[in-house]
Amino acid sequence: MGATVTITLPNGDKKDAPKGISVLEFVKQSIGAGLAKAAVFARVNGAEADLSRTLDDDAALQIFTAKNPEALEVTRHDAAHIVADAVQRLFPGTQVTIGPVIEEGFYYDFYREKDGKPAPFTPAELEQIEKKANEIIAADLPFTRSEVSADDAVKLFEKKGEKFKVEIVHDIVAKGAKTLTLYAHGDWVDFCLGPHGPSTAKVGVIKLLSSSGAYWRADHTKEQLQRIYGISFFDKKALEAWLKQREEASKRDHRRLGRELDLFHFHPFSPGAAFWTEKGTAIYQALSNWMRSLALNNGYVEIKTPLLYNKGLWEISGHWGKYKENMFLVEDSDTKEHDFSLKPMNCPSHHLFYGFKKHSYRDLPLRYHTQDVLHRNEAAGALGGLTRVRQFAQDDAHIYCREDQIPSEVAKFVGLLDRVYAAVGLTYRAKLSTRPPQRIGTDDLWDRAEAALKTALESLKLEYDLKPGDGAFYGPKIDFDVSDSIGRKWQLGTVQLDYNAPERFDLTYVGEDNKEHRPVVLHRAIYGSFERFIAILIEHFAGAFPAWLAPVQVTVICVADRQLEYAQKIRQQLVDKGYRVEVDDRGLSMQKKIAEAQVGKVPFTLVIGDREVENNQVAPRRYGGEDLKAMPFEQFLELFEKEAKLPPSH
């Protein structure tokens, strides 16, 4: 009799099985053939494992099938292997690098050259690869796992001529790994942590999405690689649903809605700088006014500083050395030298401003708010819509405070940011970035700075991701990310601690002890930039803004022209209160005008006929079609103002 092991299932059941049985065999014998067939991978004592893993000790076992989202990640990793296999079958000599699962799908980076030059995959080749990959799925090749020594792994990949894999193996060995795991399906082998599904057939269906350039190790001085993006689903139906959803999401794209709703334009003569229409400007101004009120009501002062500066400033700030490539330089017409630059950030000008006066500890914290225009010379290939532009304005502020004031300042800021995002319904993800290897300041200082940020996040019960080593060289920071309609993440808000700038600019305050001390600076923004924030809001609301943000808040439509005079009176009363109202007096049918108001996503349409004129009423209709029925104008006003006023700023 062989030894037995006791396996505990998620529901608490315990089952005995012969020691050394595979997970799959155990499931088949002790749970059921159906689950065995559906299984993709397992967790043994919480650790991910292949179904072929043997059970050598008592363990807790959990089986994952297509019903678990985790299983899709595993099969997408399978899919990456399959695509790499397909590429190497079709294009011998192509080298493989890495192929991770990403949020939506996976990618695989290849190195391929022709005549010494990088050879990108053409759309036709992608089709071939996709076809071949799905053939590999149909072939139902089992994935097999094996362990080899580091030496054998190096030999294996050297023999195959896979120099990138060899490099990765060396890296892993340098980190202390003794053995490596290999995964093979058919003749194709890659080394990989796993787990993988039982066979290629489990992957379902692979769809390749795009190809693009990427650099080995994300370093543009290294080899140019060819990246193929793809996604897989357990069945065609799920793939089709995903494609459809993607099409829906693209209808919310701010670039598309910006055109359809006539919010902004771009012109080749000023790439990366928006032309805002009167409608786009209305949104911009509403956000600007709201942020101004929020700032002024929360202890900030608003200041304005120049846009153009002599390079002397950038030499002090360090931008001339580290950021010059991103700055627009301006030639002085006398000296013919590029002695001036448009400001890419507000901080240096605020530091100069701080220095205009001698400050007492009683002045602190001192909070300067600014909405000035900034210019950054972004790489041409990086521009896109409103999310990445060359000219923009931040809802910027710099807080000058004593070190002991940092925790409360950070907490106040994060609280304010949370209120702003909540008011527009945005959900965000906070990221705390801590000390990088290259940094200034003592460890003690960093300990305190990081603790201050952490405390603020925890006091607000905010979940956050920790990004060790991602902070700026002068201090740690918290970034706030929001996703756009196609799932790309954008940084909006940020708060950064800065111990460096006060040194560089020799900023001081006089303390209680009558001696000079260094303040600390907090850089912070909530919207991030108006441009990017508006882009995110357009997508978030799919263009149907709440009344307070909508470019046109009310459209007044008459049943016949004889009611126009009354309609104008209604409009005037609303305009006098500061609202954005239009009367559609074009010679179109009423139905057509209503249709256009809906297409324009105007929050309220007021229909005026003889009955309304007679009774001093309006007949409001909401965007989307809800008919509120005729009511006295005063009653509408009350209802409307609740939604059309800026959100609270206290």
Partner RNA sequence: GCCGACGUAGCUCAGAUGGCAGAGCAACUGAUUCGUAAUCAGUAGGUCUCCGGUUCAAUUCCGGACGUCGGCUCCA
In total, the chain counts a number of residues equal to 650
Which of residues 118 and 648 has its CB atom nearest to RNA in the complex? Answer: 118
Binding mask 364-393 for RNA (x = CB under 7 A): ------------x-xxxxxxxx-xxxx-x-
Which of residues 170 and 488 has its CB atom nearest to RNA in the complex? Answer: 488
Diameter of the chain measured on Cα atoms: 100
Residues 21-80 that bind RNA (CB under 7 A): none
Which of residues 335 and 589 has its CB atom nearest to RNA in the complex? Answer: 589
Among 8, 94, 144, 224, binds RNA (CB under 7 A): 224
Q: Is 398 a catalytic residue?
A: yes
Catalytic residue among 88, 226, 371, 394: 394
Q: Is 77 a catalytic residue?
A: no
Single out the segment in contact with RNA by CB under 7 A; choices: 55-63, 441-449, 527-535, 569-577.
527-535
Q: Is 376 a catalytic residue?
A: yes
Q: Is 351 a catalytic residue?
A: no
Residues 420-479 that bind RNA (CB under 7 A): 479
Which of residues 202 and 367 has its CB atom nearest to RNA in the complex? Answer: 367
Single out the segment in contact with RNA by CB under 7 A; choices: 406-414, 452-460, 566-574, 610-618.
610-618
Residues 266-295 that bind RNA (CB under 7 A): 266, 268, 271-272
Least distance from C-beta 314 to RNA, angstroms? Answer: 16
CB 306 within 8 A of CB 349: yes
Single out the segment in contact with RNA by CB under 7 A; choices: 163-171, 210-218, 572-580, 641-649.
210-218
Which of residues 73 and 262 has its CB atom nearest to RNA in the complex? Answer: 262
Q: Collapsing DSSP states into helix, strand and coil, what is residue 431? A: strand
Least distance from C-beta 390 to RNA, angstroms? Answer: 7
Which of residues 132 and 376 has its CB atom nearest to RNA in the complex? Answer: 376
Residues 233-272 that bind RNA (CB under 7 A): 255, 259-260, 266, 268, 271-272
The site for RNA, by CB under 7 A, has a size of 79
Single out the segment in contact with RNA by CB under 7 A; choices: 18-26, 60-68, 119-127, 194-202.
119-127
Strands (DSSP E) along 468-553, which ranges?
A: 477-483, 489-498, 509-510, 516-517, 520-525
Least distance from C-beta 468 to RNA, angstroms? Answer: 15
Tokens of 398: 């710099």
> Residue 487: phi, psi to the nearest 5?
85, 0
| Residue 615 engages RNA in binding (rule: CB under 7 A) | no
Catalytic residue among 376, 439, 454, 524: 376
CB 64 within 8 A of CB 48: no
Single out the segment in contact with RNA by CB under 7 A; choices: 172-180, 362-370, 448-456, 586-594.
586-594
Helix axes 406-424, 443-459, angle to 10 degrees: 40
Give the DSSP per-residue string, 523-547.
EEESSS-HHHHHHHHHHHTTT---T
Q: Collapsing DSSP states into helix, strand and coil, what is residue 32? A: coil
565: left (phi over 0), alpha (psi -120 to 50) or beta: alpha
Q: Is 29 a catalytic residue?
A: no
| Residue 529 engages RNA in binding (rule: CB under 7 A) | yes
| Residue 616 engages RNA in binding (rule: CB under 7 A) | no
Q: Is 401 a catalytic residue?
A: no
Q: How far is Cα of residue 268 from the mean position of the Cα atoms in its chain?
A: 27
Among 87, 141, 287, 525, binds RNA (CB under 7 A): 525
CA atoms within 13 A on the CB side of 243: 14
CB 406 within 8 A of CB 497: yes
Q: What is the 3-state secondary structure (H, E, C) of 252-319?
A: CCHHHHHHHCCCEECCCCCCCCCEECHHHHHHHHHHHHHHHHHHHCCCCEECCCCCEEEHHHHHHHCH
Q: Is 237 exposed, middle or buried (0-12, 13-18, 19+ CB in 10 A)?
A: exposed
Among 621, 636, 637, 640, binds RNA (CB under 7 A): 621
Cα separation, 75 vs 233, whole angstroms:
8
CB 182 within 8 A of CB 146: yes
Single out the segment in contact with RNA by CB under 7 A; choices: 348-356, 418-426, 521-529, 641-649.
521-529
Q: Is 347 a catalytic residue?
A: yes
Tokens of 404: 């002991």
- Contacts for 573 with CB less than 8 Å, ≥ 6 apart: 633, 637
Which of residues 200 and 232 has its CB atom nearest to RNA in the complex? Answer: 232
| Residue 406 engages RNA in binding (rule: CB under 7 A) | no
| Identity of the amino acid at 531 | E
CB atoms inside a 10 Å sphere around CB 561: 10
| Residue 227 engages RNA in binding (rule: CB under 7 A) | yes
Q: Provide the H-helix boundaries in 96-253.
A: 123-138, 150-160, 163-174, 236-250
Catalytic residue among 76, 81, 388, 398: 398
Which of residues 168 and 364 has its CB atom nearest to RNA in the complex? Answer: 168
Among 132, 359, 431, 532, binds RNA (CB under 7 A): 532
Among 363, 596, 641, 643, binds RNA (CB under 7 A): 596
Least distance from C-beta 517 to RNA, angstroms? Answer: 27
| Residue 103 engages RNA in binding (rule: CB under 7 A) | no
| Residue 220 engages RNA in binding (rule: CB under 7 A) | yes
Element (H, E) at 366: strand 366-370
Least distance from C-beta 337 to RNA, angstroms? Answer: 22
Could you give the C-alpha distances from 77 to 49, 62, 227, 232, 469, in angstroms and in order? 14, 20, 15, 9, 28
Binding mask 321-360 for RNA (x = CB under 7 A): -----x----------------------------------
Which of residues 440 and 560 has its CB atom nearest to RNA in the complex? Answer: 560
Could you give the C-alpha distances from 326 to 272, 340, 342, 387, 437, in angstroms and in order? 13, 13, 10, 17, 24
Catalytic residue among 109, 396, 484, 584: 396
Give the residue numbers annotated as catalytic, written as ranges. 347, 376, 394, 396, 398, 477, 523
